[in-house]
Structure 1
Amino acid sequence: MILVLNSGSSSVKFRVVDLADPTAGDRGSVERIGEPGGVPDHAAALDQILGGLDAAGITAVGHRIVHGGATFTAPAVVDDAMLAVLRELTPLAPLHNPGGIAGIEAARAALPGVPHVAVFDTAFHASLPPSASTYALDRDLAARHGIRRYGFHGTSCDIVSRRTADLLGRPLAELNLIVLHLGNGASATAIQGGRSVETSMGLTPLEGLVMGTRSGDVDPAVLSYLHRAAGLDFAAAEEQLQRHGGLRGLAGANDMRTVLERRAAGDSDASLAFDVYCHRIRKYVGAYHAVLGRLDAIVFTAGVGEHAAPVREAALAGLDGWGITIDPARNAAHAPLISPDDAPVAVCVIPTDEELAIAEQVRAVPVRRVPAPPRGPARG
């Protein structure tokens, strides 16, 4: 059994994965860590999680880490030296990595006798060519501070692209795909033969598509303009883009289900938010079609991608001339294949399973069982 942990600043989500039967296994979360009514810290959260599990059956722990920088381009066994390097990468993901590190520290203390493996959202995108990963900034400045496109949602892209190949009955190595991971965070990725060649998120998960609370693409000068015109300091201006933008900024709600309900009721703000959201997706689909040259399939995944049929329909509307069409009945039914059978480009709805992808990567890493520390002299 592999325990998969996704640790944030105020929550720990967990799932116990049995690779022989991935549908089995406990899962859940501990919320409000360090907040009134919640547990005090990540150590207490792990104690609560392990109190309901058969800890003796856990053979390894996989940790989801959002940002591995340029250092970690594959899963890495956690030890003190690795953890020290990971702490140095915190400035690249100050909103995400500290929670992941806290989760690792708590889990290592609670389960010292099993190997711990960090799996990075950014690793899948290590294959980005320099033309896609390089920002047009001063080269020395960018190199000194690690400024480049890293990309995220890599574990999702990995498993979803493999599942798409299975659905289509074709080798992944032959396929050109655009994966649209649409959840509270959202990204588009162009995948050629199983390798990421372009992706919408950049140095951080802020760039790209419109998201639940994140703005996605804006003119970088918006930050300095907000400082001059609105009197916001840099942190407050960034907060607007990170937590008060996206669907929340446009419609007052970050949940697409709420936006769709309000849109159906005639709410103009919700209608505009929906239109902006889908327009941005369509723009990226067109751009990534150009990057790939030939496109075999578009894949919708994650909460919005898997369940919001109106988003799928509107995001691809008007692309019939490119061979991209949707069958309305299949789309309404959330079928795995929502394009007509004879469509040149398949449009698929593939559930993601990031926990399973992490567990598979943990299993593939050569690790040995860690000796448990001595418990002190025997009594008697």
Structure 2
Amino acid sequence: MYILVINAGSSSLKYQLFDMPLDKPLCTGLIERIGTNEAFIRHKILTVDPTQTIERQEAIADHSAGLQQMVELLSDAEIGLIHSADDIKAVGHRVVHGGERFANATLITPAVKETIKDLFPLAPLHNPINYQCIEIAEKTFPNARQIAVFDTAFHQTMPEYAFRYAIPESLYTDEGIRVYGFHGTSHKYVSEKAAAWLGKPDAKLISIHLGNGCSITAVQNGKSLDTSMGFSPLAGLVMGTRSGDIDPSVIFHLIAKGYSADAVNNLLNKQSGMQGLTGLNDMRDIRKALEAGNQAAALALDIYAYRIQKYIGSYAAVLNGLDALIFTAGVGENDSAMREQICANLDFLAVYLDSDKNRVATGDVREVNRSDSAVKILVIPTNEELEIAQQSFDLLETA
């Protein structure tokens, strides 16, 4: 069964084509920096030896244009893997916000689409893009089953004392205001990998997902106990364009100064974080600025790492111990300097990073801690696409 997985981020589009139940993709693709004139496309065909890779840089205005590029590559007369749209039996979509309604993979119906649309205000950088990708996929693959896998689903195991805010109960019961958490598909995948690596199903883990969006989750027994993102993906760590945690009084102060609510929302979601601190939202560009002596970049990296350290300390307390730190996603997997900065000054947890291993380690699960570290430090490439494909396949098998 050919299942195409579409994983759309705020400025990226990842996709993989699977022939399920095999867990190895036939091809993978990544489109980065969508919305710029320097978007980058990498399409890998894994059914040939050696792997065939197509790379190019060009202007891609939005996710619709990115999906069109994906379809052209998949169906290309010379390198394509499908003969027609009917070859695709299901399309699995990553959808960021499912509210309390969705705790599992779900067949997409008009009612499900309306719920996703209703949740736009809670995930303004993602749910509209996820919705757009669903609509394009429905037209492109009209006979395929469309399936949504929600980032919020994994965090439905949080205890009520962790997901409730200290506000009037009616705001929870009537308005659904609570901690939902995000990046759940990623946190679920890497925490299961870590538990298997450790040979400890009940492992106490802190999973750190660092990309353009960032979140950190406390996991035990394979269940999410607490997570940094909250009612929306705005809360928690410093991110590419999002502020992360901020005193709510700042919002009231800005509104009193004449900002509209929409302007403040746009400011905190799209103009803050590393973008607000440096004018740049891509960590690779910020590293280049640091190398050029940019002091704003140096401060921004200090703030970014410091916020993560604070959460590590608090989640070690939540777990009452710690077996492993997990680094995943673009920055977590590839920025060895940031991993080193985050793991510094964690002696009280007996967390000791091995600088040499950290710089050169390779593999599906990379252990970068010193031998005397009481806590394992693991770098695990996330594979949200495989997780989505598996959940989609399981849903169709039981439907």
TM-score w.r.t. the length of structure 1 is 0.88
Q: CA RMSD in A?
A: 2.6
Please point out which of 207, 232, 237 is paired with 2:235: 207
Q: After TM superposition, what 4+ stretches of structure 1 lie above 6 angstroms from structure 2? A: 8-11
Instruction: Please state if 1:286 is matched with 2:313.
Output: yes
Shift, 1:44, TM fit: 8.2
How many equivalent residue pairs? 364
Q: SS of 1:212's equivalent?
A: coil
Residue 217 of structure 1 corresponds to: 245
Residue 157 of structure 1 corresponds to: 187
Residue 93 of structure 1 corresponds to: 123
Instruction: Please state if 1:192 is matched with 2:232.
Output: no
Q: SS of 1:145's equivalent?
A: coil
- Percent identity over the alignment is 43
- Counterparts in 2 of 1:364-379, with a 5 A limit? 364-366=394-396
Residue 142 of structure 2 corresponds to: 112
Between the aligned partners of 2:228 and 2:60, the Cα distance in structure 1 is 38
1:220 maps to a residue whose letter is: P
Change over 3 Å in CA distance of 1:248–1:72 after alignment to 2 = same
Q: Does the 8 Å CA contact 1:42/1:103 hold for their aligned counterparts?
A: no
Per mean C-alpha deviation after superposition, the further-off stretch among 315-324 and 149-158 is 315-324
Residue 178 of structure 1 corresponds to: 206
Change over 3 Å in CA distance of 1:322–1:94 after alignment to 2 = closer
Please point out which of 12, 21, 27 is paired with 2:29: 27
Instruction: Please state if 1:69 is matched with 2:99.
Output: yes
Residue 4 of structure 1 corresponds to: 5
Shift, 1:216, TM fit: 0.4
Q: Comparing both structures, which one devotes a greater share of its residues to strand?
A: 2
1:25 maps to a residue whose letter is: C
Change over 3 Å in CA distance of 1:238–1:360 after alignment to 2 = same
Per mean C-alpha deviation after superposition, the further-off stretch among 62-71 and 49-58 is 49-58
Residue 378 of structure 1 corresponds to: none
Per mean C-alpha deviation after superposition, the further-off stretch among 263-272 and 17-26 is 17-26
Per mean C-alpha deviation after superposition, the further-off stretch among 124-133 and 358-367 is 358-367
Residue 303 of structure 1 corresponds to: 330
Please point out which of 106, 113, 121 is paired with 2:151: 121
Between the aligned partners of 1:357 and 1:127, the Cα distance in structure 2 is 18
Q: Greater CA radius of gyration, 1 or 2?
A: 1
Offset from partner CA, 1:227-265 (integer Å, 9 cap, x none) = 223x22111122221111111111221122222232233
Offset from partner CA, 1:68-110 (integer Å, 9 cap, x none) = 0000011101123333333333333233222222222332233
Offset from partner CA, 1:292-343 (integer Å, 9 cap, x none) = 0021000001111111111111112111221111011111114500112332
Change over 3 Å in CA distance of 1:211–1:330 after alignment to 2 = same
Q: SS of 2:252's equivalent?
A: helix
Residue 15 of structure 2 corresponds to: 14
Change over 3 Å in CA distance of 1:317–1:50 after alignment to 2 = closer
Offset from partner CA, 1:339-367 (integer Å, 9 cap, x none) = 12332110111111111111111111135
Shift, 1:8, TM fit: 6.4
Between the aligned partners of 1:8 and 1:319, the Cα distance in structure 2 is 31
Change over 3 Å in CA distance of 1:214–1:8 after alignment to 2 = closer
Per mean C-alpha deviation after superposition, the further-off stretch among 133-142 and 110-119 is 110-119
Residue 55 of structure 2 corresponds to: none
TM-score w.r.t. the length of structure 2 is 0.84
1:218 maps to a residue whose letter is: I
Between the aligned partners of 1:94 and 1:260, the Cα distance in structure 2 is 28
- Counterparts in 2 of 1:338-377, with a 5 A limit? 338-366=368-396
Between the aligned partners of 1:181 and 1:132, the Cα distance in structure 2 is 20
Change over 3 Å in CA distance of 1:88–1:174 after alignment to 2 = same
Instruction: Please state if 1:137 is matched with 2:138.
Output: no
Q: SS of 2:344's equivalent?
A: coil
Shift, 1:289, TM fit: 0.1
Change over 3 Å in CA distance of 1:276–1:39 after alignment to 2 = closer
